[in-house]
Amino acid sequence: MIESRFDAVLFDLAGTLFDDRALRDVHLEQLTFAADAAGVRADDRQLRAAYGQGMAEAFAMMGGRPHYRHHDLFAEAFRGMARALGSQLDECDVQAAVNQQGRATVEFAELRPGATLTLQRLRDLGCHLCVVSNIDQDQLDALLDSLGLRPFVDDAISSEAARSCKPDPRIYQLALDISASTADRCLFVGDTPSHDVAGPAAMGICTAWLDSRRKEQHHAVQPDHIIRTLPEVVGLCLSEVAR
């Protein structure tokens, strides 16, 4: 019987199991809504730049905390976007923009090619599969249902439920505990170097960085593996077993 070299495989969600950049055009509708509510006229490039500035400010404010709600992060990003455009949003419009963005993500997100086949093959190898995501619990639940992931994973952990946001170590330890695995028998798969490489590596977890756009670059902590597609994870799990 073929077995995996890992007892557990942990997956990031946004950017990994689904490509969040594919939602850019859908989310542009929420940027337009926010600009209209703030009484500002701007083209698509200006809207994206202003939201990017707002998000950078939001991360500067919250990103260093062990835990924060992502609803609050996105709300601050929309407030910062309005400021960058020389205006402001009232709180009702801020909350409406965040809620619309969340609903659009759930409605339009699509799994990456080969995602469910990869998960099924890993389960066939006996791996415990767990989604570990910086996300609020209500959106995680909605995405697990809309993406049809529940039959393919054993557990899913939101940063809200864990009260720990990657790269805070508590969320990785919780994933190890839930998976009944040890760091040396666990693989973390994700697309964000700080959250999905440096964070798990600090816990002694093996890492696979999903570089789907072939933008290899030097990071403070190098991943153990670089993959381009999700099905490559199966090969990583078998690579040393076959030797």
DSSP-derived secondary structure for 37-48: HTT----HHHHH
**CATH number for the 8-19+110-238 domain, one of 3.30.1360.170, 3.40.50.970, 3.40.50.1000, 3.90.660.20?**
3.40.50.1000
Cα gap 7→122, rounded to integer Å:
10
What the block records as the tokens of 81 is 């976007």
Q: How far is CA 49 from CA 7, 22, 30, 53, 89, in A?
A: 43, 17, 14, 6, 17
What the block records as the tokens of 226 is 């670089």
Q: pLDDT at position 243, please?
A: 36
Mean pLDDT over each residue of the chain, to the nearest integer: 94
Q: pLDDT at position 216, please?
A: 60
Q: pLDDT at position 212, please?
A: 73
| Helix, strand or coil, per DSSP, at residue 136 | coil
pLDDT at 56 over 60: yes
Buried b (16+ CB within 10 A) or exposed e, 47-64: bbebbebbbebbeeebee
Q: pLDDT at position 240, please?
A: 60
First to last CA, the chain: 15
Cα gap 147→144, rounded to integer Å:
5
Domain boundaries, the chain: 8-19+110-238, 21-108
